[in-house]
Structure 1
């Protein structure tokens, strides 16, 4: 790490089970310092959403701020900045220590609607950001078992309940092809379920296929993914094998947003 990085303001954070985040900023003393969270805009789009928090001196000499669980953060990636004073330019905050232990077993707690999730993480260039998800309902993927013939997934629905007519929908990205409907086996509590995607059924049409659950016969689709733990980006962490089916290959994977999908090639 360069000396420039050492002298830049840094931030540690601690998350609790409700999503509350305590920040501790190491920076020179200043008047009216603030912590600014900025929702990262899509490429080519202007910045539209920021959240500001007052920074107060702590007993350890650092500046502290608290992001309460409510109001929730909008879905997306939030970058953190120090604003040292009323006329000061904002400075991006280098990441420090992240205490995410309270998130590790987050999949064991049922969530109500809306399902709001926050996971602080270090960006590839060394800064702190927060990945936030905000969904009406969400199906948390559990165990994924890939065999030669199929992929079996266990999951648990949050923010809604399974009822008659519930099914899993595997939808082609872009909408140019017909979606697949897969039967599910629901548990008695109306939250847990399992389903199996046959690999042969996925071949013949290459591309990416996203996985949803429809809780009722006419209900809105909820994404299947893995959000409720301490991993902000699992695409390169949880890697599953590609299975060869004739001249094609089928591989389950997590997207950059931690949603479950299938890649079909050949």
Structure 2
């Protein structure tokens, strides 16, 4: 799959005619061990020493540090005429967040953003396999909205991987798998309402064998109760967790183990309407599972 860029004079082939010099474009293949094999077209002499930089994107309001101090730098080795290759090993893991990709060593450039080329992510589409090591380290290359190559990374000591969600009437049943923890006495699913006056709904959890489990959430339980106007009134967002055992720390339920970097606009689940309120599960910008409760628009 390839990504187009507007206003850059960049074509899909080896360069533009009578236009600006094409920015480097990278093909990325992810292997079963989690390594990134990156191939970049660079019209540089074989004696050059370009490098590949993955730079963590700072949070809003935080200053940008020098790339060499905070990023991950990998040497690009010659791999044919105007072709260069680098391997980003699975370890050490990237810290959780978004990482932008650049080339260092281009003539006259401090760093040059990489454009996305082909992305072979077949090794990521394996589901929630039993062989996943913990801490769970996930890295997915993707194209940003402005047409650059980036990597979405997660690093979690414990994780609950959401699987199939089944809808029936005004309820949803979520199947999931636990990583980095074991189900024990007192295990339950938890729905936490966002806000200062946090409200919690505890749901029965059904063990499905091994580390698999499921739970059913009745949407009616997320609505306001008579005599308790602050207890779940719309609008509200409920974040989904699992409590693996009594007294244990809660674990976020999310969907990370595939090739989708941003699920929020890709996976759209059906909404249910209950007496003027609309309830819809969705994935957040971090691919965490949540449930949105909103007033149904009039008309």
Identify the TM-score tier after normalising by the shorter chain: over 0.9
Q: 1:161-200 maps to which residues of 2 (within 5 A)?
A: 161-189=182-210, 191-200=211-220
**CA pair 109-47 structure 1, distance change in 2 beyond 3 A:** farther
Count of aligned residue pairs for this structure pair: 265
Structure 2 partner of 1:64? 85
Structure 2 partner of 1:50? 71
Structure 1 residue 85 displacement after superposition:
5.5
**Would the aligned equivalents of 1:152 and 1:196 in 2 still touch at CA under 8 Å?**
yes
Name stretches of at least 5 consecutive residues in structure 1 with no aligned partner. none
Matched position secondary structure for 1:102:
helix
Q: Equivalents in 2 of 1:160, 1:47: separation in Å?
A: 36
Question: Residue 214 in 1 paired to residue 235 in 2?
Answer: no
**Would the aligned equivalents of 1:25 and 1:63 in 2 still touch at CA under 8 Å?**
yes
Deviant stretches of 4+, over 6 Å = none
What per-residue deviation string (whole Å, max 9, x for no partner) do you get for residues 90-149 of structure 1?
011000000000111142344232111011111111111110000111111111112222
Rg larger for:
2
Structure 1 residue 165 displacement after superposition:
1.1
Structure 2 partner of 1:41? 58
Name stretches of at least 5 consecutive residues in structure 2 with no aligned partner. 12-21, 225-232
Question: Residue 156 in 1 paired to residue 182 in 2?
Answer: no
**Would the aligned equivalents of 2:28 and 2:38 in 1 still touch at CA under 8 Å?**
yes
Match of 1:5 among 7, 10, 15: 10
**Would the aligned equivalents of 1:170 and 1:180 in 2 still touch at CA under 8 Å?**
yes
Matched position secondary structure for 1:201:
helix
Q: Equivalents in 2 of 1:59, 1:28: separation in Å?
A: 11
What per-residue deviation string (whole Å, max 9, x for no partner) do you get for residues 32-88 of structure 1?
211111111111212343111111111354111111010000000000001126984
**Would the aligned equivalents of 2:106 and 2:112 in 1 still touch at CA under 8 Å?**
no
C-alpha RMSD of matched pairs (Å): 1.7
